[in-house]
Amino acid sequence: MTPTLALTCQLIEQPSVTPHDADCQQIMMQRLAAIGFDCREMPFGDVKNFWAVRGSDGPIFCFAGHTDVVPSGDESHWHSAPFKATIKGNYLYGRGAADMKGSLAAMVTACERFVAAHPDHKGRIAFLITSDEEGIAIDGTVKVVEQLQKENTPITWCLVGEPSSSKVTGDTIKNGRRGSLGAKLVVKGVQGHVAYPHLARNPIHEAAPALAALTAEVWDHGNAFFPATSFQISNINGGTGATNVIPGTLEVLFNFRFSTEVTEQQLRERTEVILQQHGLDYEIHWALSGQPFLTGCGALVDATVAAIRDVTGLDTELSTAGGTSDGRFIAPTGAQVVELGPVNATIHKIDENTHIGELEQLSQVYERILQTLLA
């Protein structure tokens, strides 16, 4: 069993369901401290985070990731226990194998080999690890980044270990992400009996044309890096449950995944113009999860692309597709950010798994990036 595989198995067997860490971070810090990292616990609220750094000056290359995982669901549906690392053929099974304990292990072992070969490397290597990524993400990476900014500790390059790959590890890296803007819309009507509609005002009927207009709106056309902005309604709720009562209110949850072609403020304003055009009596409550970000061609992207080609022979694809990640908290500081991790086909699913051989390749790719930027 290789060091990367052994460490991945050890981390999988810690039941770190978000926001709990279950000692995963202690395991990582012990390994990092042994090779000269200064490890600093940075808890906020009930969330465990740590910042570890090796080196005293120069640019910072930061590995970022999370030890928390999503719940396993009904464990009886798994072919093997979700928090027992199980090897079947060429695959390692367990919750977190792909998202993202495999990446965390690959980061640590890459650093162990790199430091052994380059004990006096240039710049600084850092780890920013949280247990609050799969949950509400308010006491994790965002808080650590805020503290680092107060201390004037800027991250130069950041590699997030999210499972970015599509079919084989390294075929896709994320060099940006779309923004995420959510809203809760409350449309007000007048409750009444369905037999006397003239004495009531049905908010469902009044909202339907406005919702159709929002759905049909072309918000932008995207660009070379981002698809067009998407508007999606995720939940509609109205009524008392009775068939003979016109509801007094309608609640609608919706979300924008938006490109750099439009701003958060523009989306808010254009949405409210449409609602007002339809004469709705409404309240709307907005929640921004993250701004879009993009890391173009530069030292980090070039080093990552070259490392993947050298180790795997693949010509990787740059992508901004998918959901949000903690990169959204790091990129606004001016850091170059990419995401590179295992294949994402089984993340958050029953029988989550990763290919053992590709896990080793991932560690080698991480090491090669360090060699390019800091050797």
* 133 given a catalytic annotation: yes
Q: What is the dihedral of CA 6, 10, 13, 19, to 10 degrees?
A: -130
- Alpha-carbon Rg for the chain in angstroms: 23
Cα–Cα separations (whole angstroms), residue 161 to 24, 106, 150, 252: 16, 9, 25, 34
Is residue 68 annotated as a catalytic residue, yes or no?
Answer: yes
> Among 21, 68, 99, 360, which one carries the catalytic annotation?
68
If phi > 0 it is left, if psi is from -120 to 50 it is alpha, else beta; for residue 239 that is left
What SS3 state is found at 260? coil
SS3 content of the chain, % helix, strand, coil (to 5): 30, 25, 40
CA-based nearest residue to 25, from 101, 117, 112, 115: 101
Q: Give per-residue burial for 63-74: e unless 16+ CB within 10 Å, then b.
A: bbbbbbbbebee
Which one, of 47, 168, 169, lies nearest residue 103 by Cα? 169
Tell me which of 21, 99, 112, 133 is the catalytic residue. Answer: 133
Partnered with residue 233 across adjacent β-strands are: 254
Q: How far apart are CA 69 and CA 83, in angstroms?
A: 11
Q: State the catalytic residues.
A: 68, 133
